[in-house]
Structure 1
Amino acid sequence: MQKDKTNWYASWFNTPYYHILYKDRNHREAALFMNALTNFLKLEKNDSILDLACGKGRHAKYLYKQGFDVTGVDLSEESIAFAKQYEKPRLHFEVHDMCLPYPKKFDAVFNLFTSFGYFEKEEDNLRTIKSVKAELKPNGSAVIDFLNVEFAIKNLVPKEKKKIGDIVFHIEKYVEDGYIIKNINFEDEGKEYHFVERVMALTLEDFQRYFAEANVDLKNVFGDYHLNNFDKNTSERLILIFN
């Protein structure tokens, strides 16, 4: 069985299977969320946006089409190599570690679709937030789109199977040592594969603590992609807007 030996996100995100498993993500919902965010933040055409942990660039490409100057960065070399085929004068992609400040300042920094809390060391969460603050122009705003862990844990499905094409993904979810863990097992072309997703079970209070340490001001908290108010018992998302 082939197993990853580095940080899980560095290996899993670099495989084609990650993109196969999540290929049916809701593009319409993503577009509605981007529209709601950019309108709420009063971003204007040609304003600059950093898409932090952009994957293959689906959000970045949409934001570019809406008239923004977009830079997408991600740790996955394969994802960035794929995204680079879409580059244009105001749409750029680059391999970058989000724990470190990107050497440019933006009107907005977006960290979307639970692309936070992966690290082995908790201090890397704080380093990332400090880096985001350093990437903002004086009146810029940042967004972290995270899952609402209280809701996620309460509604956790311990085991499920997903058949996509010829591959059957066996998925197991559980909570352990402060992480929500997803084990992913499948077979393809006679080989067995095992990958793990681990995301810290960070609450609103955890983020508030990080923000205080990073000297960041939390401005708004929303609970879904329509920017309704956050309720820890019923909201699926934890969307944080800060500067």
Structure 2
Amino acid sequence: METLKGQTALVTGGGRGIGRSVALAFAHAGAQVAVAARTQREIAAVAAECGGLAVQLDVTDENGCVEAVARVEREFGRLDILVNNAGVATSHKFTELDTASWRRTLAVDLEGPFFLTRAAVPGMLQRGSGAVIAIASVASRTGAPYIAAYTAAKHGLLGLMRSLAAEYAARGLTFNCVCPGYVDTPMTQMTLDTIVAKTGRSREEALKPLLTPQRRLVKPEEVAAVCLLLASEAGRGINGQAINVDGGLVQS
């Protein structure tokens, strides 16, 4: 089992789904974990589960992101691992995609990780080590209809991680993306609700296109296991990569 003993981590979108699973996996591996999200009740519960710190945060707030990183550094003494997991997704025909939805998606899914990573990197550089992990989705690897804003943001997120991987490889930092297919999370259940409401299909029929080639949804714990590897000493040689966790959906 990978160990994070003596390490500290900040996980955004940590109140449920993938973020919760990552926070718990990191804590089980020995890390001190700060769990960040907008909903205080959710992050307080997860922080209690993992014996960590609850940080209420809207990732679209630049100053809030800077303060979140500073708070973790104050409370834990350092920040070794940043997991940019917070995200939103909406479905629209492109001609019906309004500017507000476009900007909101890019603000959460791309600008938020930019703000947090920019705040975290200086401390990591001072220590000569650090891992930044972005939950990017298979939408960062390919195109899909009706999610133009989400796909654009996730492609941008992968580009950001790869650029930083090239810039800081010689300084001991790693930057990677984990790219899940549809994961069994509340966000996916909301997607199913939208499909059922818009199409009139049964929930069973609406679910079929979301399944991996293994005929199932990805489990949050499977995504967390890859994050744990990337955050550990065993993952230090992995840098600038996009690792799919999708049951074989995207083979590249």
Question: Normalized against structure 1, the TM-score is what?
Answer: 0.47
Relative to its length, the structure with more strand (as a share) is 1
Relative to its length, the structure with more helix (as a share) is 2
Question: Normalized against structure 2, the TM-score is what?
Answer: 0.45
